[in-house]
Structure 1
Amino acid sequence: MGPLTMGAPYQSAWMREDQRIFRDSVRRFVENEFVPRQARWQRQNGPDPEAWPAAGRAGLLLPDIPAEYGGGGGDFTHQAVVREELLGAGVQFGCGVHGIVAHYLLAYGSEAQKRHWLPAMARGDLVGAIAMSEPAAGSDLQGIATTARRVGDEYVINGSKAFVTNGRHAGLVCVAVKTDTAAPGSRGMALIVAETTGLTGYRRGRPLEKIGMHGQDTCPLYFDDVRVPAANLLGGEEGHGFAQMLAQLPYERLGIAVDAVATAERAVAITTHYVLERMAFGKALIEFQNTRFELAECRTEAMIGRVFLDYCIGRFLAGRLDDVTAAMAKLWLTDCQCRVVDKCLQLHGGYGYMTEYPIARMWADSRVQRIYAGSNEIMKEIIGWSL
């Protein structure tokens, strides 16, 4: 859908001709291939397996990974375009998490690891997932209990992971583990990559029954004496896992911020269309002052969000998006998303509570934005520590 264009047009500074061409291509693919399948994806709690290679052929996967590793050779703006077009069409697809895994490999993987895994991920032959959260450790990743013990040329992994996006389809899982259980806090943590096909002791749990995001594959994962090659350790040394995760969080949180703004903009657009057509007391809802005032606030918040997001994208492209600013983006923009969607649902009246209406699904889907990738309370802590 892209930025709001009602009234005076606003153009993101990062939009260039190649992004516009790419956006047109992504939009056509999403509308033709993904939108018609959303109802089935919702019923089955995730996309069809063949959606991944189809997305790979269309260039939706890893658009910001270098071409030498099979990616699109673009930058974060190309990833933003993909996320905006998916959210703008109301499509749930785990390519954001897939891309985060790829950036862990790009940042910390050996040359052999990158050349082995990234091209397959770009094609959609290999789906990526991140296994970090646990039943007793969510935003506080220092509290993870999953262990990896070095035995010869292998690591033996034991533990369980919760809320894993792409868990059922994942052929490549980046697992946060403790390699030194005696080390306090974040020390002794590492990231180990597991190829899941035929992996003994690796088990997927049943799809989770979530409030929203029904079209996105989410499940727990279990590791019972799972053996993976020691060479699958990211970064080549134990003990750096927590620092690696912290370094990648601005990228992850910026992606969530993109989703938040795209959702708020879509909510305003579909609600504006609704109130122009819906009649009450003999006139269109838009003719009531309260309707106009509520939508005026929503549109203003969405525009402020867009400008702040573009500022953050500019800083990221320049290599200057710091942890605090990324936390601000995640905090404010996801809160903004939920405020806007809730107001827009109210303007739909009783129909807003019906899941056949997009605004109802958006309302349910939006709530998790304030929880994952570090809850918004943690974002306040990060910002507060910088004062």
Structure 2
Amino acid sequence: MTGPGEDELLARAALTRVLEPGEEHGGRWLRAYGAVGLIRLLTGPGSRSTALPGVGPERLAGYRGRAALADPRQDLALAAESGVRFVCPGSAEWPTQLDDLGDARPVGLWLRGRPNLRSWALRSVAVVGARACTPYGAHMAQVLAGGLAERGWVVVSGAAFGIDGAAHRGALAAGGATAAVLACGVDVAYPRGHAGLLGRIAAQGLVIGELPPGSHPTPSRFVLRNRVIAALTRGTVVVEAAVRSGSLVTARQAQKLGRFTMGVPGPATSALSTGVHELLRGEAVLVTDAAEVAELVGAIGELAPERRGPVLARDLLAPETVRVLEALPAGRPVDMAEVARACGISADEVIGRLYELHSLGFVERQGDGWQLSRQTAGAVTQTGATRRGGR
């Protein structure tokens, strides 16, 4: 792969200062004119008399004004000094799954960190959720992200307070890979309280942004950032989300793109789990740990362990022996003939089964009769009480 030429790279870097993330009419212009052609239309001689489809004269004048001020050479030079690089469609490092966004595809991405984005994105999972999360949600996000990181998955999130931060910390604590997709420049610490966390992510993973260095976030940019998280990863896990949570935008975008959508259930009484439960009532898959996530999004053979209850001693008995045991009433001894009638087995086989149960401590001999041992009788009584209470 030869990659984009210098003119293409400069044009796309300039356009990150001209077009807002996710502007579909900008994507249509790029398809029609190419990045170099579009910049020439916005800045070249006679550009003020050139109309572009989809926008009016006033808005087009705004694009031209931003294009005239853009200095991609300076942006790229200053970015390189800060360890930031720019990749765009056609670059060897460009993740082609972002092309699924169509005309809403990023013009390019600014990256801070050493790993290769293309290779990382092939095995990545988004973990997102509420900013004002509960301790339960933070714990689940951190444990789930740590487990995914230990299994070799890249944990992608948005570096916000709450679930996002817990997910990044879980992956970092496990010594694994994590990437933060920002709604601002990759050199801007937002939120400011996560400046240290973003520094750790950049040192151990990747910080990703559509906006050029120095750009600050706006509410709409947060929403549009979520489409990149959804497209970049193989699936999205939502851990706590109210009905109007922005993390649900990521999940629904993932569904539209044909990615896996998962949710971690919470208490039915928690407003912060209402949005997750709505997802789970639809096409989302319920998950409770990293193994279940990996089973869904991973390769063939990445199976979660089968969940089984404790193995009881009576589980190891043969079916006929269990029938004899169940034929013994609690609290009184009975003779062998009564047991044979109750379980429908011959007397000779019953006596053999009773001696087997006696050797294992399930029954006791009382003269000519047999009865459940005290320990077995207590277990039967407890089981019966549990069943009655469960109705």
TM-score tier, shorter chain, comes to under 0.3
Q: Give me the TM-score of the superposition, normalised by structure 1.
A: 0.23
Q: Give me the TM-score of the superposition, normalised by structure 2.
A: 0.23
Higher relative contact order (CA 8 A, sep 6+): 1
